[in-house]
């Protein structure tokens, strides 16, 4: 197998990017600096990129990343309009990962990214048991009627939304718990009752929080956190 195809199959670099890195001398095969055009046997050869061994996809463990997304980035791998994407913020991960669900460009806060398709499907399924928790700052003070309407059954585009838990944190700030993620759901719910969102921040996914993670930075999830996301009802 061509070395650049090996990198692509492993989800580390595109073929073109791998070829550039090989040409720069950043790739070694069995301890020797590789050259453009070299081939490898994924089963027996040891491939290293910048000192780190690259494993075939079947052997490589999944990656689970928690990003504190800033506003101004779109939640996609590639944007046709040339806007900044969340992938630009996790370039150092070293493998191809994908956002779990969406957080719109004007929103900020917790976003998970992974190459584990099974977990992605689990977390984005409407019946998943882990709520996504948001702090919502409004441009005006909500009335009791507006708060009651947000917590009541609501329909968007003919779709009946799952119940949303609403708690008032301060006169102009709400905490909302969602178990699904329709497109711009919170903003559209607020608009439907006559409120406008000034700031929307996802602060947690179930028991998983941002902690002290600065805006624009990311970290790996711990094994305990991954196990929680896969089995939220399991304790200890």
The reported pLDDT for the residue numbered 236 is: 44
d(CA 111, CA 205): 9
pLDDT per residue as tens digits for the range 166-197: 999 999 999 999 988 788 999 999 999 999 99
Neighbours of 218 (CB within 10 A): 20
Report helix, strand or coil for 163: coil
Which of the residues 9, 20, 38, 104 is marked catalytic? 104
Query: Is-catalytic flag, 20?
Result: no
For residue 167, the 8-state DSSP code is: E
pTM of the model: 0.75
| Helix, strand, coil share (%) of the chain residues, nearest 5 | 25, 30, 50
pLDDT per residue as tens digits for the range 77-116: 888 899 999 999 998 887 889 999 889 999 999 999 998 8
């Amino acid at each position: 197998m061509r070395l650049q195809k090996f990198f692509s199959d492993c989800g580390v670099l595109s073929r073109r990017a791998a070829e550039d890195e090989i040409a720069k001398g950043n790739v070694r095969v069995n301890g020797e600096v590789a050259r453009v055009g070299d081939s490898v046997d994924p089963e027996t050869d040891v491939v290293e990129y910048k000192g780190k061994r690259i494993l075939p996809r079947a052997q490589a463990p999944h990656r689970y990343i928690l990003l504190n997304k800033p506003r101004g980035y779109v939640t996609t791998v590639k944007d046709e309009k040339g806007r900044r994407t969340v992938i630009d913020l996790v370039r150092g991960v070293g493998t191809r990962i994908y956002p779990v669900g969406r957080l719109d460009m004007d929103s900020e806060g917790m976003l998970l990214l992974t190459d584990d398709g099974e977990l992605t499907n689990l977390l984005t399924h409407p019946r998943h048991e882990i709520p996504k928790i948001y702090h919502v700052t409004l441009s005006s003070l909500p009335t009791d009627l507006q708060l009651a309407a947000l917590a009541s059954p609501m329909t968007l585009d003919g779709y009946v939304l799952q119940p949303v838990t609403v708690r008032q944190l301060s006169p102009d700030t709400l905490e909302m718990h969602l178990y699904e993620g329709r497109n711009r759901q919170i903003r559209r719910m607020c608009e439907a009752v006559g409120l406008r969102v000034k700031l929307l921040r996802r602060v947690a996914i179930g028991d998983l929080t941002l902690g002290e993670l600065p805006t624009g930075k990311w970290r790996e999830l711990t094994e305990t956190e991954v196990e929680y996301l896969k089995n939220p009802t399991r304790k200890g």
